[in-house]
Amino acid sequence: MTVVEADTEVPTAAPSRGGRRRAVPQSALNVVSILAGIGGWWALSASGLDIPSPPVVLSRGIDLIKDGTLGGDILASVRRVLAGFLLGVLAAVPVGFLMGWYPPVRALIEPWIQFFRTIPPLALIPLAIVLMGIEETPKIFVIFLASFLSCVIATLQGVVSVDRTLINAARVLGARDHTIFARVVIPASSPFILVGMRIGLGSSWATLVAAELIAAQQGLGYRMQSAQLYYDLPTIFVGLISIGVLGLIMDRLLLLAERRLTSWQETR
């Protein structure tokens, strides 16, 4: 009996015509986005809309830099934002951990957190002035509150989202509460905390202009409010752009820290 072997061919995938597509660098896309935004702004100004063009705003910014006004305003605003933001984070993280780990603490504190989250910081300015005067304390307090309320919710969510299996496994292995906190809860909730910090940073900058309503003599928000009285649109735009650029830089620094501290986490 003769066995006839049939030749079988294994189909192979045809190579793509264009080869493998190269991904466009994110930095290049960022540059394109910025240029497109400036182009759109320029087009709106040229169309007759009552806004200053980019060259006019740039010229005004250079004047403010030369006479030292913009540098002093930036330093004053950054100092207030950093003080309020850092104090808010330092207070929010332990409070969020306590609320997430102990249900009775959560039941006592969470209603007040939600209550104050619904109150805009601008509404608290009169109370802050009455209780704290008109120096730096009420300005920093309003920014602190915005940062704290954003970060504490994220920290709470991070703690309650920790996989119960990991906690039970640690207990079976004989770990005590402080060990579980240090080895399981903190690493697992750190992505939530860092996201809360980024949100809190944005809230701090968003509250800055309201905070500098309180008898400020320097600061980006103060400068914009003073320019409003004289309809000085270029100065207002310089303040807006400065706040946006500073906030973006600080957010990118937090994003870099997040990537380093949560390098174990699989993300897209």
Could you identify the residue written with the tokens 């006004």? 69
CA–CA gap between residue 119 and residue 116 (Å, rounded): 5
Question: Per residue in 11-45, pLDDT tens?
Answer: 444 444 545 566 667 778 888 888 898 888 888 88
Residue 86 scores a pLDDT above 90: yes
Task: Give the CATH number of domain 52-261.
Answer: 1.10.3720.10
CB 250 within 8 A of CB 79: no
Strand extents, DSSP E, the chain = none
CA–CA gap between residue 14 and residue 193 (Å, rounded): 47
Least confidently predicted of 21-25, 145-149, 230-234: 21-25
Q: Where are the domains of the chain?
A: 52-261
